[in-house]
Structure 1
Amino acid sequence: MAKIDLSKMNFDELKELQKDLPKAIEEFTERRRREALAAAKEAAAAAGFSLEELVGKPSKPKGGFLPAKYRHPENPEVTWSGRGRRPAWIKEALDEGKSLEDFAI
């Protein structure tokens, strides 16, 4: 991996890096999750099963499913119901002066 020399970056470049980092981490984590799921399905199929046969079907959350109320502006697959802890992308946007209505579905 290329090493980034932060000491040579100006303030604006550092702020841009800070802004882009949570999204990059989120995308990396999601990509790894999809790869792990594909590998698990492949292993189950090699043994003659579906993954659902081995681990059961996914269940609904205890409180029931809550529809999404807010959508990430750059990644429409990322949503938030408006309940529970605020996601980092919502917090950052609010700190930048945006409102929740800017992300309403």
Structure 2
Amino acid sequence: MSDFDLSDLDLDELKKLHKETAAAIQNYEARRRQEALAAAEAAAKSAGFSLKDLIGASVGKPTKSINPPKYRNPDDQTQTWSGRGRQPQWIKDALAANKSLDDFLIGK
């Protein structure tokens, strides 16, 4: 690598160099990650497995857990609520009409 004096660069040139260097580092790390993943998949395949079989989870993005519905609207069966987070309007209306949450439980 050639050495050069950074003190000879003005602010715009330094910022440009910084931006290009950060992008180059990010690309390098992404390539290395892909190479490691490919090597791991090849090693698993040579042993007769998939990488997913060996690690017991999905490779890549983690999945978000979903809370099952706990309450159902008797007037519209497609409307459900897990009991977590903000109450849907149909629950608010029912509670205002002096109904109980127990009236909407799924699998009473």
Q: Tell me which structure has the larger Cα radius of gyration.
A: 2
TM-score, structure 1 length as denominator?
Answer: 0.49
Q: TM-score, normalised by structure 2?
A: 0.48
